Amino acid sequence: MTLAQLVNRFDTANRSIVVVNRTDPDPVRDMLVDTFGEDAVRVVDHRPVGDGGALPRDDWVSARSSQRMAGDDVEYTIDIAALRENDSVPFDCGRVDDIENLVLLLEDGDVIAGATLQELTEAVLFVNSDLYVTGARSLDELELPEVITGLDDTMFTLRGYPESNRQKLLLITISRFIERVAWTAGDGTIRSSFQRLSRIDDELGTRRVYDRITDAGVDTHLYGVPDDPPTDLDARIHGGRSVDFTDSWFVVFEPPGGPSEVAGTRDPVATNDLKRGIEGGVGLLAVEIEPRLWRGVWTFDPDHVRTMTRYVRRHL
């Protein structure tokens, strides 16, 4: 088995993003659509009808082409009272008509997270990967809306530059989130791949991140082609030249007791995704299925995190 075969074994969720009463211009919507790659997440751009909150989906935005296309007669019915009680949704309006630029993450029609469009633009849409490469955005500054982290167990197909200026950023952002989880935890184990180990020192921001992670006391394992690995980093280096080293992208954190389901993770009042990762573990696995085209998933599921870790520990 290879990591490419392993990633295809994971079950994935069916999720959609609804942007309610968007007033930001169309280019912002198009950036949101492009961020999530090809066919992974439907991005619906609608105004609600009436105070009942029903959002009929008579058109939807294709995640591939950003073009409006004829849809079906499925409706998303949003329970306004439930929105007010959901701490993961920034909603305190009296009427549906008062909603503006609200982004909802739905799974099988149920709202599981929310954010403002402004929060998404600050977190990912108006962010350049150079902020991470150079270290201009530090671990302390990384705050991800639950609309993003809530896309766990969703299989993405994402293109790198020059085919897309945006899609690969999603993998970079989730990688940094997991690295922040490890740094905040201050213990446990993190396993990260870089394709080429020279990238750790070549990218100032990446080197600073792993200096902080190792200084915090996290057991750190780094994987990649050993072209010029760091020699002064308190981490264990795993070098190789098989496809698992050259074509994979993974960042996996395990707490000291191993991956586990965190009590209350489905209750937004009881926890958040940073705590969920610290206490239960979190992992990202992606593989380059063709040049500059990545297929992958991130997950809080303890069985999936355990499977990722077991494979990497045994085969790399």
115 with 143, same domain: the answer is no
Whether the Cβ atoms of residue 184 and residue 177 lie closer than 8 Å to each other = no
Range of the domain at 101: 15-123
Q: How many domains, the chain?
A: 2
Q: Which of 108, 123, 138 is the last residue of a domain?
A: 123
Statement to judge: residues 137 and 115 lie in one domain: no
Q: 269 pLDDT exceeds 50?
A: no
Q: Does residue 270 surpass a pLDDT of 70?
A: no
pTM of model > 0.75: yes
What is the tens place of the pLDDT at every residue in 116-170?
Answer: 999 999 989 888 888 888 888 888 888 888 899 999 999 998 988 777 767 888 9
pLDDT digits (tens, 9 = 90+) for 89-103: 876 666 666 778 889
Percentage of the chain with pLDDT > 90?
48
Strands 293-299 and 219-225: unpaired
Question: Which pLDDT does position 244 carry in this prediction?
Answer: 97
- The confidence score (pLDDT) of residue 271 equals 54
Predicted local distance difference test score (pLDDT) of residue 268: 44
* 301 and 234, same domain (yes or no): yes
Tens digits of residue pLDDT in 181-232 = 999 999 999 999 999 999 999 999 999 999 999 999 999 999 999 999 998 9
**Structure-token pair, residue 203:** 């990218």
Predicted pLDDT at 215 = 97
Looking at the structure, do residues 204 and 160 belong to the same domain, yes or no? yes
